[in-house]
Chains A and B, each alone.
Chain A
Amino acid sequence: MEAVLGVLTNPYYIQVVTMVGISLIAALGLHLITGITGQFSFGHAAFVSVGAYASALVTIHLHLPFFLSMLAGGLAAALCGVLLGFPSLRLTGDYLGITTLGFGEIVRVVFINMKITGGASGLIGIPRETNIFLVYAVVVLTIWGMYRIQNSRFGRALTAIREDQIAAETMGINPLLYKLKAFAIGTFVAGISGSLFAHMMQYLNPADFGFARSFEYLNFVVLGGLGSIPGTILGTAILSLAPEFLRFVKEYRMLIYGALMVTMMIFRPYGLLGGVDILRVLRNYRDRLKARRVTP
């Protein structure tokens, strides 16, 4: 019992688990953009960084309560998302992906060059306003929100665009408008994640939001199972914790991580939970249990 309590209250583990939650929020935003709407975004970390810097600066300079600066972070990221999305969402597939990748790098360089963000040495002096409970409350809220979006008329329109944009258009869906809305929501969520990150780490550095980080988010979404919320949760949890579990191999850690990405894709090209409907699996299981109880 004492050992369990010791693990549960170890500040390092709490930090790791909190970071998983923060990453998960951003990953859920990307899930809406890439998983549901089918639009490639290789610059998701840029929106997280915009949210992080915006909320941190609001907290530091305007002394607003955390809730409001979190909102400001989300809105700043969504504004960037719309500004980028409006001209670029008519690009398709890989072209959109590379444009967002370029946007991500530009944002990083701009943050390095700006005075107010502390430049390359980073932004310090952000008060700590987050804890594991707040993060997981936001996680639950985001998951609930994503399920609501996915199963609404709006969400079905997004899925229609992913499956066949021309067919969706003939059904009266305006693809640009819907994609833009999905982009705005997804980047808003990324900004919220960034605000939590800023007020957790109390320090921001543009180097943490490079394109490598963007691809990490993409990994979370794809390796778990593209288009599946349980898949996104599983992918984020496994990939965020993998470096912790791989700590014993020391300098070979990233070697194994890279090899793991290749092998996982080869064996499960649709992701771990790709094509698996968790709710249906659980429902079938329950039905089978019921059937067994009824038949003597």
Chain B
Amino acid sequence: MRVFLRRSLPAALLLGTVLTLQASDALDETQRLAGLCKVWGLLKYYHPDVATGTIDWDEALIEAIPRVQAVQTRDDLNHEFMVLVRTAGLDLPPGPAAGAIFPRSVFGWLDDQEVFDPVVAAYLKVIVTGNQPAKTNRYANPVKNVGNPDFNADRGGYSLPEYPDEAHRLLALFRYWNMVQYFFPNRDIMDCNWEEELARFAPRFADARDATEYHLAFAELVAKITDTHAGVYSSTLWNHRGLYTVPVRTRFIQGQTAITQVFPRLLGAGIDLRVGDVITQIDGVPTETVRARLRKTTSGSNADSLEYRVDQYLLGTNAASLPLTVTRDSGPPAMVTANTVSWSAYNSEVSATRDPTVYRFIDSDVGYVSMGVLLQSQVASTMDALMSTRAIVFDDRAYPNNTLYLLAQYLKPASTPFVKFMDPDYAHPGSVVATETLYSGPSQPTSAYYKGRVVILLDESTISHAEFTAMCLRTAPDATVIGSRTSGADGNVSSIYMPGGLTTGFSGIVPLYPDGRPTQRVGIVPDIEVRPTIAGVRDGRDEVLEAALAFINRPPTNGGSRASPSTSRDRRPDSALVRLRDKRDR
């Protein structure tokens, strides 16, 4: 026995040591896949041979995934990373290129020695710093005259069945993760840790059991970038969200879901749903529970715009009717089984019932302009009619029709900056670069501008171009913004295509105020905050407009008098300038 121990103990100790070493060297599949995603993305955007598109880089990943899933040790994993490097191309730059930068915030992961061998990390760093990435990359190019990334060529697998194989599901995750990592200019203001999300979602994508799980995982991932522009669409998701809806419009007011518009023609007789009713249950499920579920898969730049987006899907169903529990005037809950209609019928009715009035007078000397209706061709006649008013209310709680530059010709005495941009830096993917500042107003200073008060109304439905318009209009000399925080999603949208028929997008450029203050996520913050109440909605009041009129009727704080109303005929806009500027933020 003693002999046996003497002989076998060292062997056992040695074996134990080896096993311990192997265990400490072992990486789980999530770590391995996350590492592959990062290396693949780095090469995709920094390796010149990949940028040219001569290699099918998606295919290179599809081939690498099973190999990476099979390896166990860090060395074997790093060997697979180097295989990918050699697949990209063997060109090795002699050293850092002139003007090369190494954005550590983007490549901090290379320092993770649990996953990346320092030699492999150094090799990858050579690729980042040694190559000056081509300004034109097959997979991401700046949209001409705008600068947001054009990902249209990067849509491999889009036409695959809605439940693609595991490798293509991971391709979707890796493609999207890297697009955000290198080209989402608002990456640094996301709430989440983007690297942690990669590790969290890798098993979700790999293990998705059907199309719905895969598409929902993708929607949940997209929600992490907190950008209201980032809707996710697919036929699977439409089916999941419901192909029909109750013909009412809801809004999250005072922490409750209130009906703000009813479409009687679609709702039919006998269905007792009214404006101001609060929906407390949907198909027997508390409304808050439904909202919480939808929030997980819906992207919103801020809390208000997230709820706005949630309302768009809230009453979706595949059933011909939907039981709702509603309360009215703090009365007892009542069950109403509402019929449902297709989304196309719903949207047609929304359009058909929209007030087509371009402008009107309130109190004879206050003008009101519906920015969602006003067309460029109607700006001159509208402003001519309203120039003699003491105030104009521009209702920007709708999507305008690119009228901002024309309006600024009437509202401002001179051309002044109203926005500047940060774009993705295509020479250093992962970084952003300041580009241009835009001006609005007459190029030649004039005294014949509108001297009355300019009031801009907005709320969480004010998104993108509407926010851009508000930024422009508020540079008028006596402008006041009233309402509530806007969507916080400005900047041209870059469309994104994923395997299995998924599409999404994100805000591809960053508009800032000329003094550098941000607008993304923050939104346009009103000078006077006013939010609707359920009681006000029930009574058919527009409390934001009421607040605007109250403000207008207050005497000016500076005590100055308005100049005489001016005419507009001598200040036609510079149409060429307008055309150039129109390319931004449309």
A, B: real partners: no
- Residues of A bordering B, CB below 8 Å: none
